[in-house]
Amino acid sequence: MSDSKRPQTMAQKILADHCGKKFVEEGEIVNASVDIVLGNDITMPLAIEEFKKIGTGKVFDNTKVVMVPDHFTPNKDIKSAEQCKILRDFAGEQNIINYFEIGEMGIEHALLPEKGLVLSGNLVIGADSHTCTYGALGAASTGVGSTDVAVAMATGKLWFMVPSTLKFVYKGNLRNWVTGKDLILYTIGMIGVDGALYKSMEFSGPAIRGLSMDSRFAMANMAIEAGGKFGIFEVDEKTEEYMRSKGKTGYKVFRSDPEAPFKKVYEIDCSDIELQVAAPHLPSNAREARKVADIKLDQVVIGSCTNGRMEDLEMAAKILKGKKVGKGMRTIIIPATQKIYLEAMRRGLLEIFVEAGCVVSTPTCGPCLGGHMGILAKGERAIATTNRNFVGRMGHPGSEVYLSGPAVAAASAIAGRIAVPEEVI
């Protein structure tokens, strides 16, 4: 059988396309051209330092290097200000077109799709582990180290080992309030934090076709929490409509062949999936929210590159409207981009949040990584729509983080403990 006729997965096809081949074998090491090289205020300063050592002088393409200072911005201290200045100066020196800072920035993994910078069939790398988010658009995207970003900025290429693929087929109807966040927490709980180690996770099935793009981004975002190299969705009309809404055409659509060599196929009945919560200290500690409803909380965070989009804010507002957060509950709402912030304001969501006793922040990753805007003290507990709950992730090593979708987070803010919407509405 010729290489062009050998069955391949989406991951294989995208990698083959980017290294000029008809076919790539699982486990093969390839040198592939990349479409986007991404970095932020934590990871890009080191990449810039290493890039200068390479000596090429100029980045390979000033339209394909993207920089978004979003982790410690607005700058929380002198050190973070200096980190961001490194990016700002480099962007000026290199005439980086896609540099987004205060006033026009957002959380990077929400901002790039919003601006139409990532398309179906792209190969994207970023010095941030949640770069896998763009798989929602049918792209192969993954997090890499800062030195890899330096090489890619200089050459436009990077090496990859072609991953095997796990296919997840989601069927059935979703229950009330259940979103992509619940599906991915359930999935990670099922296979474990290393269940997809250096594999591509391919998401498909009738339930997936019913998901919004916002929910798909949330699912792809957390592929890395199962060890995944990529988290890729089949491209459908919703995907293409999203890209067309950004004025984009001419993208490539790759689909896995029916006889593609999937390592394993999982069939999941979504009608069995309740609202999920991942208990400390792993995203794989997923269970039904109602089973941990007695856990008292100190803080709620609704936002992040996982769940700071309009679907998330609308769901939270629907629950919080006309209610008050529990006494002493610090409830922080973070729209993921300036555009989302503005749209939420136009729809009256920010008023609902403030009247409920929440605080609304400018876009930032801050609390997710224990950076700022929501640090936990020893012994405190938070529920968050973020993507990680490792020891010390949101502050003191003696604090605890529970992960959930926006519905459980909003209901918990009102109850002062982990709760589901039906308890507070």
**What would the DSSP string read from start to end of 51-72?**
HHHH---S-S-TTTEEEE--SS
Percentage of residues of the chain with pLDDT beyond 90: 93
Pair of tokens at residue 336: 């993921």
Residue 2 has pLDDT above 80, yes or no: no
Place of tokens 């006309």: 322
Q: Could you tell me the sign of the dihedral formed by the alpha carbons of 236, 237, 238, 242, in that order?
A: positive
Pair of tokens at residue 266: 């999982």
Residue 5 has pLDDT above 90, yes or no: no
Phi and psi of 187, rounded to 5°?
-65, -45
Ranges 135-139, 292-296, 340-344, 407-411: which has the least confidence? 292-296
| Complete domains list, the chain, with CATH | 8-273 (3.30.499.10), 276-419 (3.30.499.10)
Distance CA(141)–CA(129), nearest Å, equals 10
pLDDT of residue 425: 87
Q: Tell me whether residue 295 is exposed, middle or buried, using C-beta atoms within 10 angstroms of its C-beta: 0 to 12, 13 to 18, 19 or more.
A: middle
DSSP strands (E only) in 219-329: 230-233, 262-269, 276-278, 286-288, 299-302
Rounded average pLDDT over 247-275: 95
Distance CA(130)–CA(218), nearest Å, equals 10
pLDDT of residue 103: 85
- By DSSP bridging, strand 359-360 and strand 330-333 are parallel
Helix (H, G, I), strand (E, B) or coil at 40: strand
| pLDDT tens figures, 93-129 | 999 999 999 888 899 999 999 999 999 999 999 999 9
Residue 396 has pLDDT above 70, yes or no: yes
Rounded average pLDDT over 361-386: 93
Rounded average pLDDT over 360-366: 92
Percentage of residues of the chain with pLDDT beyond 70: 99
Rounded average pLDDT over 171-193: 97
Determine the angle formed by the axes of helices 237-245 and 213-221, rounding to 10 degrees. 100
Pair of tokens at residue 380: 């405190």
* Local structure of residue 374 (DSSP, 8 states): S
AA identity, residue 285: N
Q: Mean pLDDT, the chain, as a whole number?
A: 96
pLDDT of residue 1: 56
pLDDT of residue 3: 66
| pLDDT tens figures, 39-53 | 999 999 999 999 999
* pLDDT bracket for residue 73 (50, 70, 90): confident
Rounded average pLDDT over 244-250: 92
| pLDDT tens figures, 303-317 | 999 999 999 999 999
* pLDDT bracket for residue 137 (50, 70, 90): very high
